[in-house]
Homo-oligomer: A and B are copies of this chain.
């Protein structure tokens, strides 16, 4: 909401309730941007890193729960790649035990809905083919904290996103080796290898996601390497599905089955979960699924008060489902815009790019934000309309930060 030229936001307090990712947001209005900026750059609680990511940099992240860890907004610099030690964590179920990565090459995955169905090991897949792609990994709920309504789930600000380099075998290559997709299979349905809690209908908890088969054949890879290392257990190793341009939830971890199917999975996570619908409406299969990401950008510096003079405004921008083409920056809350420069190598259509705009700022208060445009001409939206679960946030107005220059 915009009041008299200033941007007001929800004030939120993060508290964990159990280990299942249930985080309660306590809403209150009227707190301005610096409070939000501060909040994203300082630890919000004294929680220790979850055991499965004990190797992450505790100073770079905010621990929400045992299954959700956020990258601090000011830790994203201008290199373009998110180091594994700073990458967010969002797991729907606890990771398998370390045994899963004790002998990575022996991990098995079955392929169904192809001409010649069979089970292959990671070792087998490594002999088939190799492709490397840089891609943004972003949680569907990244930015949930910026909505007015109190959607349930972790109250992510900007930090449930990272830019990673993945290596693995293209799904296309595997399918070709297995004789091609069987007739009439419109979806690729991937099943995660997490242990399911007992006494519950598996369909209500299993991580099983479907995406269009043509997208899978075009760009999906089965990845064993992330940023030059074996995919960490917490991030889906020994083998993870990577769908560049698609939200994180589709990038199934510990993948144990890849099936080409006639219909989408009946698992709750696909049928009713991750569906965009109006606030108060239940999830249903006819609502849009959280597949393609949208064009988006945000500033990561400056977030706090600055001395006057030359200041480098920087941040990251991506096109989501297509390449980012340009980024504009505003220091007056969107009244005027200047085009920023991309810095560093272009890592490809599905990667984010750091952008920089040098500005000379005299004393005053500035509302700084950025607005990206993708190669198809889609412009980052100003306001993201509320939806029940607080998905798909990209509005530049609430991604703004207020910075006082003295």
Contacts and interface: CB of A to CB of B under 8 A. Distances in A.
Contacts of A57: 229
Given A130-B343, A165-B344, A346-B345, A79 B228 contact: yes
Contact of A344 (B167, B311, B312): B167
B132 A80 contact: yes
A312 B167 contact: no
Contacts of A79: 132, 165-167, 225-229
Chain A interface size, as a band, is: 35 or more
Given A83-B229, A86-B229, A78 B130 contact: yes
Interface stretch (A44-52, A95-103, A347-355): A347-355
A312 B225 CA distance: 15
A345 B86 contact: no
B312 A127 contact: yes
A32 to B, nearest CB: 25
Contacts of A35: none
A132 B312 contact: no
Contact of A132 (B83, B126, B344, B351): B344
Copies per assembly: 2
Given A129-B312, A130-B312, A83 B347 contact: no
A310 B131 contact: no
A131 B343 contact: yes
Contact of A345 (B83, B228, B309, B347): B347
A133 interface: yes
Contact of A228 (B81, B312, B351): B81
A167 B343 contact: yes
A317 interface: no
A356 interface: yes
A128 interface: yes
Contacts of A259: none
A207 to B, nearest CB: 25
A216 to B, nearest CB: 19
Interface string A125-156: 01111111110000000000000000000000
A225 B343 CA distance: 13
B228 A356 contact: no
Given A127-B309, A344-B167, A346-B345, A228 B80 contact: yes
Contacts of A226: 79
Contacts of A229: 57, 60, 77, 79, 83, 85-86
27 contacts: A60-B229, A77-B229, A78-B132, A79-B132, A79-B166, A79-B225, A79-B226, A80-B132, A80-B228, A81-B227, A83-B84, A83-B228, A86-B229, A126-B312, A127-B312, A129-B358, A130-B314, A130-B343, A131-B344, A132-B344, A134-B344, A167-B343, A345-B346, A345-B347, A345-B348, A345-B351, A347-B347
